[in-house]
Amino acid sequence: MAIILKKGTCAALLENAVELPGKHVQVLKVEKVSVAGEPVDPEQFRVVISDGIHSIPVMLATNLNEMAASKMITKFTVLEIEQYLWVEVCTLRIVILEEVLVTAQPSKPLGTPFMLDVSTDPSNVMRSVTTLLAGTGTEERKQFSRRVGEESDGEKEGSDVSTETTMLCSDGAPRTGEAEGVIDVAPDEVYDTEKDAVHVDGA
């Protein structure tokens, strides 16, 4: 059965949607988190994911650290998202992947994704939110843990992931108005430019 990356998945994650257009995303980048050049404790990983059309930076929950450290999650890995945490702090929309499955390991990026802006107010993008995520400023914080396809149970206590905006935010990249995009992915297959085509579904 084909694995499909669908346009709108990354945007839906940013909006904390109940239903995602698709559950699969491709990892474009994995890096250890540091603050002012110093590693954080406990170890944390920042990941850029793509739905083939758009990409966003996200965090891995610390229970997934071993998957990143062992390179089970690495560049170009295709993941199936089972559960994620959504946080909004100081206009920043932060997605933390809590449960994922590795479903394929292509050898190259799929599609030509554009980075979406995680901030609803780019002028605030560099504001530090470390203390907010650590448990203060709760009036400014909204946190939701969502299993994909299920309603949120409402506000939750903080995640074990503590970070600053510089770890999560990206430059404001242009949003695109493409037709609905569907990219087929075959597990355990080596991809080449002729076979790995992007199929546009206008329906």
The pairing of beta strand 45-50 with beta strand 24-32: antiparallel
CA distances from 194 to 57, 178, 202 (A): 29, 22, 22
**In contact, 38 and 52? CB cutoff 8 Å:** no
- Name residue 82's amino acid: E
Cross-strand partners of 88 = 93, 142
Q: Return d(Cα 89, Cα 52) in angstroms, integer.
A: 27
Q: Is 68 helix (H, G, I), strand (E, B) or coil?
A: helix
Is residue 57 predicted with pLDDT exceeding 80?
yes
pLDDT of residue 119: 83
pLDDT of residue 185: 64
Question: Radius of gyration of the chain from Cα atoms?
Answer: 16
pLDDT range class, residue 187, cuts 50, 70, 90: low
Give the pLDDT score at 153: 55
Instruction: Map out the domains of the chain as residue ranges.
Output: 3-178
How many H-runs (helices) and E-runs (strands) does the chain carry? Answer: 4, 12
pLDDT tens digits, 113-171 = 999 988 877 555 444 444 444 444 444 444 456 677 666 555 455 455 544 444 444 33
pLDDT score recorded for residue 55: 96
Give me the pLDDT at residue 147, please: 72
pLDDT tens digits for range 73-98: 999 999 999 999 999 888 889 999 99
| CA angle (78, 84, 90) in 5-degree steps | 115
Q: Write out the two tokens for 20.
A: 């995602």
Q: Whole-model pTM above 0.75?
A: no
Percent of the chain whose pLDDT exceeds 70: 60
Task: Work out the mean pLDDT of the chain and round it to a whole number.
Answer: 73
What's domain 3-178's superfamily in CATH?
Nucleic acid-binding proteins (2.40.50.140)
